[in-house]
Amino acid sequence: MSSTPPRIAVVGSLNTDLVIRTPRMPRPGETLTGGDFFIAQGGKGANQAVAAARQGAAVTMIGCIGADDFGAAQRAAMLAEGIDDRGLRTMPGTSTGVAVILLDDDRQNSIVVSPGANAAVSPEWIAECAALLTSSAVLLCQMETPADGVAEAMRRARAAGCRVIFNPAPASWSAQSLVALADILVVNESEAAMLSGFTVIDEGSAVQAAEALAARCAGGVLVTLGGRGLVARVAGTTSRHPAFAVTPLDTTAAGDTFVGAFAVAMAGGLPLGEAVTRAQAAAALSVTRLGAQPSIPTAAEVDAFLAATRRPEG
């Protein structure tokens, strides 16, 4: 990889995660006594920014927070990671985004998000942050902020020659029109199914979805399959990448960790296969830890994991 840190801009959400451990998910109308409770910084945009920063990138976060204690904590968390906060706008009279997360004993989670200030990531705010976009090598976008703001960011980045990595999560029909603006599309099974029209239930159907989506975007498609690895369709070639075998504790930020680490590896000049392996290793480490951002590993931790772990075989 290049010795110069790649410059990555992230347009997306910042949420405060309120996490409760529960023996199982409650039924409608049922009250359960849960276990541990903790607060962590989250939001798909912020998670991907932290993942990229911990892998050594120079990261700029573009988004909106509320004028409340949660917002102040979000800004402080970004600065503590060395992330440029000039694109982080504080919205008076608005709450910071919040995610309430239930994590059960089977390591499954259920999440309800209140967007709050994330809804203010508008085309107008993106235009004000244009210089932060055009000076970056890579832009990361998701779908936890309004689609018109995401589209504006993607168009401006592409016009400036900045590679766009689009993770249309959570799955949304409004992402359909944005696929063509992506250089690399990273989707899970449900997102791939919604955007491609193919139900993704196994590796074969993932290949179908990847091929269909690759015909619509500028570069390529990665379809992630959790513990089954992923399928890539890039430059007309399909490849399969098995996952690392780990025992999961909390999968909350696995996808975001993958995206952030993959962006840094690609921006740093690694070939596709090596970039995917490194991102898979980062995601594998993240699921063995609790919380969103607290679970995201550093570059040194990924290096150590790869040195000590046998790489999965295709």
> Would you call 36 a catalytic residue per the annotation?
no
Q: Which residues pair with 15 in a beta bridge?
A: 42, 97
Could you say which of 84, 104, 250, 256 is catalytic? Answer: 256
DSSP line for the chain: --SSPPEEEEE---EEEEEEEESSPPPTT-------EEEEEE-HHHHHHHHHHHTT-EEEEEEEEESSHHHHHHHHHHHHTT-EEEEEEEETT-PPEEEEEEEETTS-EEEEEE-GGGGG--HHHHHHTHHHHHT-SEEEE-SSS-HHHHHHHHHHHHHTT-EEEE---S--GGGGGGGGG-SEEEE-HHHHHHHHS----SHHHHHHHHHHHHTTSSSEEEEE-GGG-EEEEETTEEEEEPPP----S--TTHHHHHHHHHHHHHHTT--HHHHHHHHHHHHHHHTTSSSSGGGPPPHHHHHHHHHHSPPPP-
Q: Please identify every residue annotated as catalytic.
A: 256
